[in-house]
Amino acid sequence: MERMSLRKLGKSDLMVSPVGLGCWQFSRGKGLGGKQWPVLQDDEIEKIVSLSLEGGVNWFDTAESYGNGESERTLARALRKAGKSADEVIVATKWMPLLRTAKSIKKTIDKRLESLGGFRIDLHQIHLPTSFSSTQAEMKAMAQLVKARKIRHIGVSNFSAKKMRAAQDALSRHNLNLSSNQVRYNLLDRKIETNGILDTAKELGVSIIAYSPLAQGLLSGKFHDNPELIKERSGFRKYMRAFKSKGLEKSLPVIEAVKELAEKYLVTPAQIALNWVLQFHGEMVVAIPGATKPEQAKDNADAMKFKLTQDELDHLDEISSPFKN
Ligand SMILES: NC(=O)c1ccc[n+]([C@@H]2O[C@H](COP(=O)([O-])OP(=O)(O)OC[C@H]3O[C@@H](n4cnc5c(N)ncnc54)[C@H](OP(=O)(O)O)[C@@H]3O)[C@@H](O)[C@H]2O)c1
């Protein structure tokens, strides 16, 4: 079967695997969003990282806010344990702008580098569009970090089309480019296709990094097979509409279509859902599924090992079209 090859992130020289590993799951109960996932042990995290690497994943997405540096530290330890050096992997992290000004981007960078224990910041991202500073001021601070060789490339996350354009405009003044916008994108959340984000990214040559590409596990079909399962999970998913009976009913046609293709390809529904995200808009979209169990990491990496046909992609497009708005 045809394998997917590495992709250029925006106009940067970063060549990333279509599937990267999302490392929010390594927060170990710490920080604001840390309660969303179970507290993973070192050996589980090491297995998640090593199985991802074995499956062809060459990059990792973490953040300052994932356990206040816990995710960065655990990721670095697991990469070292897997025998990887900074030259062999790509690491993306994020600065949290809430209740802060752009000054803190420079103030916190050494802490980020310390947490990453020798791994580089190949991509530094502004986690959210909400801050006390303008996008221009944030981009100026990021550009200074590139010039100081503290970070290599610049990305944003959850930015609207307008803000993305403002970020690119600001960076152009420093002869730099915006490499990526990290946004929620999956078969059950396709808003970026109708709110201008995808079109603007295409026009500017910015990559889309799809977060929650499995709709936080929904697209695996396991919560449709057993709606009781969500009650056993830590975190906030159980309170979300999508995981309740009405939500599950609404997404069922998509899950059924995904399952049908999974049977045809002898793969899992999660792999079909990822394959669609990675192919439907060509190489400009890459995805960072997270894993709470080692076998999920292997499953997700293996989604790069085959390609759905255009007809199959179009079929999933049609069935999931109610989720465009
Ligand atoms: N920039 C942002 O604002 C932002 C926001 C959210 C996430 N992110 C990033 O994106 C990454 C991924 O997003 P996410 O964690 O929200 O959602 P996701 O990747 O769609 O879902 C991850 C969860 O789904 C389940 N799962 C994963 N692979 C599976 C498989 N093959 N089969 C069955 N179940 C599977 C696991 O949970 P269970 O085992 O408990 O079911 C796992 O923890 C994060 O780690 C983070 O790096 C960024």
pTM, rounded to two decimals:
0.99
| Helices 161-172, 197-204: crossing angle, 10 deg rounding | 20
User: Hey, whose CA ends up nearest to atom 48 of ligand 1?
Assistant: 211
Residue 32 is predicted with a pLDDT of: 82
Kindly list the averaged pLDDT for each block of 10 residues, start to end, along the chain of length 325. 93 98 97 92 98 98 98 98 98 97 98 98 98 97 98 98 98 98 98 98 98 98 97 94 97 98 98 98 98 98 98 98 96
Asked if 178 and 206 count as a contact pair (C-beta separation under 8 A), the reply is yes
Asked if 66 and 22 count as a contact pair (C-beta separation under 8 A), the reply is no
Backbone φ and ψ of 18, nearest 5°: -55, -35
Residue 252 is predicted with a pLDDT of: 98
66 among known catalytic residues: yes
Span between the terminal Cα atoms of the chain, in Å: 34
Of the candidates 120, 212, 138, 132, the one whose C-alpha atom is nearest the C-alpha of residue 178 is 138
* Domains (range + CATH), the chain: 7-217+273-306 (3.20.20.100)
Cα 27 from Cα 29, distance rounded (Å): 6
Q: How many helices (H) and strands (E) does the chain have?
A: 11, 10
Cα 121 from Cα 62, distance rounded (Å): 10
Residue 1 is predicted with a pLDDT of: 73
Pocket test for ligand 1, best of 292, 300, 305 (most atoms within 8 A of CB): 292
Of the candidates 101, 103, 104, 45, the one whose C-alpha atom is nearest the C-alpha of residue 72 is 45
| 3-class secondary-structure state, position 177 | coil
State the Cα angle at 152 between 146 and 153, rounded to 5°: 90
Residue 2 is predicted with a pLDDT of: 86
**Spacing of C-alpha 246 from chain mean position:** 27
CB-based contacts of 159: which residues, under 8 Å, 6+ apart? 126, 129, 135, 167, 181, 183, 197
The finding on whether 207 has its CB within 6 A of some atom of ligand 1 is no
The finding on whether 22 has its CB within 6 A of some atom of ligand 1 is yes
